[in-house]
Amino acid sequence: MSLGKTYYRYVQRSTCGVVASPGVNVLYDNTGTLALTGALEQSLAWNIRTGERIHMCRPTSTSTRGHAIPGTQVTVQALSPSPTQSNRLAVGYEDGGVRIYELQSQGISAVSGECRQVAHFPGHRAAVQSLAYDKAGALLASGGSDCDIVVWDLTAETGLFRLRGHRDAITQLRFIGGGGLVGGAVGGSGDEELKLLSGSKDTLLKVWDLEQQRCIETVVGHRAEVWGFAVTPDETRVVTISSAADLKVWALNVKGRGSGMEVDDADEEEGSGSGGNSAPTQGHLALMGPIRRVGMERGVAVQFSRNGMFMGCHGTGKVLEIYKRRSHEEVLKKIKRRLKRLREKKRKKSTVVRIVRDTKIALDIKKLYDFKCQICGTALKTKSGYYAEGAHIKPLGKPHNGDDSLSNILCLCPNHHVMLDKGSLSINDNFDLIGHVSGKLTVDPNHKLNKQNLFYHRKLHDY
């Protein structure tokens, strides 16, 4: 056979028609008509109803005649919350740069919808992983794979300072406090100081004081990478999502508890919840508890609805989970219901024992063995005759649902009845006793025990 044939070798030059790159967050504008996706080097704005592409933002260079600069894949995007600049889009890139675009501009090309680049902040040595505007849209924080956080002044178009302390990529940033007042200055003019909350793959959450430009609290609550967090609109709760299967809920105190004297009572209120999690800190975050996710894959993102009533989260799997926040009344109702159920359970337990003792079948079994324990042979003598108990191998009631039949009942003395129920002993298929008792179960030839019930009992108690 001849191998003399030559083939053309094809090398990929470019990709077209990409709608959304994986790993880039999708944004929606205030009106709910536009969806913003990151597609390779471009940020694209789509009309959700028509599917039409309205805007396109990409870093361009004049030297390559308006073509995208290589190595500038979009990694993260954020829309300005400012009412006057709500068309400003901040985009982070693979090369560590952040660019700001103006969406409505028809400037460069009305045909392609290409938008004007307003500013370029080359602030990181590695890919930008997270972006966050403050409430007024005057400040922007960027976090990178280089472990740094940079805070930018958007009015002066300049970097203000760099925050260092995390030891791995910054996965999420969020400004908290500041009173929500318009006013660009760091620290704000509100009654609460503006702070920055950061999550990282180094498993830590950090709270940064922007006036002192330093970390004032580090929360060690996770053993796995923190992939993101969400803050309720009223800034009272934080939910974090990590590589582990559960979400963690934190009580957020924007002011912090260590900073003032007047907040002593708040300490007592939530002190029990914080436990040993955040001992020598300022007390901005206190762990409340976990929520177990349905999806077992590593978490990706968590977010609250605008009114804070709903929370959505998803991992790398296909499940999107939506949670509803319970109102105060619903929480009370739930607690009441749980207490009631507990009380009922207790009552049921005592009635079950009484019923067991009195069933006809149990009495038949006891007569069959002359009230002698099938394990130790003891028959307890009482004033009113001999005493033994009918013991169910597979327990009655939920969740076991064992049946009240001859094949599921043994005649036992009270001690061995308790030991059977608590799993201190179990029985093999050949009636050998296992666990804290040795020997063999005495079984009458007329007493046909169901082996499946024996098997169930062994599995129930880990034999």
Task: Name the minimum Å distance from CB 245 to Zn ion.
Answer: 44
Q: Which stretch binds Zn ion (CB under 5 A): 58-66, 95-103, 237-245, 410-418?
A: 410-418
CB 441 → Zn ion: shortest distance, Å?
11
- For residue 279 the two structure tokens come to 């001992």
What the block records as the tokens of 200 is 């990282």
Cβ distance to Zn ion smaller for residue 176 or 391: 391
Question: Does position 433 bind Zn ion by CB under 5 A?
Answer: no
The smaller minimum CB distance to Zn ion, of residues 63 and 382, is found at 382
Cα–Cα distance for residue pair 430/458, rounded to 1 Å:
13
CA dihedral 418, 423, 424, 429 (to 10 degrees): 110
Q: Which is nearer to Zn ion, 226 or 413 (CB)?
A: 413
Distant-in-sequence, close-in-space partners of 58: CB < 8 Å, separation ≥ 6: 41, 42, 43, 68, 72, 114
Question: With respect to Zn ion, which residue has the nearer C-beta, 82 or 428?
Answer: 428
CA end-to-end span of the chain: 66
Residue of the chain from 248, 255, 257, 416 that contacts Zn ion (CB under 5 A): 416
Q: Give the residue from 195, 235, 234 showing the smallest Cα distance to 217.
A: 195
Q: Between 98 and 412, whose beta carbon lies closer to Zn ion?
A: 412
Name which of 402, 325, 313, 405 is nearest 365 in CA terms: 405
Among 96-104, 107-115, 389-397, 405-413, the segment contacting Zn ion (CB under 5 A): 405-413
| Burial grade of 286 (CB within 10 A; 0-12, 13-18, 19 or more) | buried
What is the smallest separation between the CB atom of 384 and Zn ion, expressed in angstroms? 20
- Please tell me the distance from the alpha carbon of residue 124 to that of residue 324, in angstroms, as a whole number: 38
**Count of residues near Zn ion by CB under 5 A:** 5
CB of 363 to Zn ion, least distance (A): 18
- CB of 444: closest distance to Zn ion in angstroms? 16
User: Can you tell me which of 131, 413, 433, 441 binds Zn ion, judged by CB under 5 A?
Assistant: 413
In the complex with Zn ion, which residue's Cβ is closer, 136 or 412?
Answer: 412
Between 78 and 373, whose beta carbon lies closer to Zn ion?
373
C-alpha distances in Å from residue 387, one per residue of 160, 384, 406, 425, 456 = 85, 8, 18, 21, 27
**Closer to Zn ion at the Cβ: 173 or 375?**
375
Minimum distance, C-beta of residue 413 to Zn ion, in the bound complex (Å): 3
Binding mask 258-287 for Zn ion (x = CB under 5 A): ------------------------------
Cα–Cα distance for residue pair 335/294, rounded to 1 Å? 23
Separation between Cα atoms, residue 414 and residue 431, nearest integer Å: 20
Q: Which is nearer to Zn ion, 207 or 375 (CB)?
A: 375
Question: Of the two residues 115 and 373, which places its CB atom closer to Zn ion in the complex?
Answer: 373
Q: How far is the CB of 327 from Zn ion (least distance, A)?
A: 54
Closest CB 436 distance from Zn ion, rounded Å: 13
Nearer to Zn ion, 99 or 372 (CB): 372
Helices (H), 323-407: 328-358, 360-368
**In the chain, what is the greatest distance between 2 CA atoms, to the nearest angstrom?**
107
Stretch that binds Zn ion, among 74-82, 222-230, 295-303, 414-422 (CB under 5 A): 414-422
Contact string (CB under 5 A) for Zn ion, positions 337-376, x = contact? ------------------------------------x-xx
The nearest distance, CB 352 to Zn ion, in angstroms, is: 21
Stretch that binds Zn ion, among 121-129, 393-401, 412-420, 428-436 (CB under 5 A): 412-420
How far, CA to CA in Å, does 268 sit from each of 42, 252, 254, 265, 271? 51, 15, 17, 5, 5
Residue nearest to Zn ion (CB): 373
Q: Kindly state the smallest distance separating residue 408's Cβ from Zn ion, in Å.
A: 18
For residue 22, whether the previous peptide bond is cis, meaning omega lies within 30 degrees of 0, is no
Q: Which residues contact 306 (CB under 8 A, 6 or more apart)?
A: 233
Burial call 48-69: b when 16+ CB within 10 Å, e when fewer = eeeeebbbbbbbbeeeeeeebe
Q: What is the DSSP string of 149-212?
A: EEEEETTTTEEEEEE---SS-EEEEEEE-GGG----STT-SSSSPPEEEEEETTS-EEEEETTT
| Least distance from Zn ion to the Cβ atom of residue 224, Å | 50
For Zn ion, the binding residues in 372-401 under the rule CB under 5 A are 373, 375-376
- Which is nearer to Zn ion, 69 or 379 (by Cβ)? 379
Task: Give the side-chain half-sphere CA count within 13 A for 217.
Answer: 27
**What's the min distance (Å) between Cβ of 218 and Zn ion?**
58
Q: What are the residues binding Zn ion (CB under 5 A)?
A: 373, 375-376, 413, 416
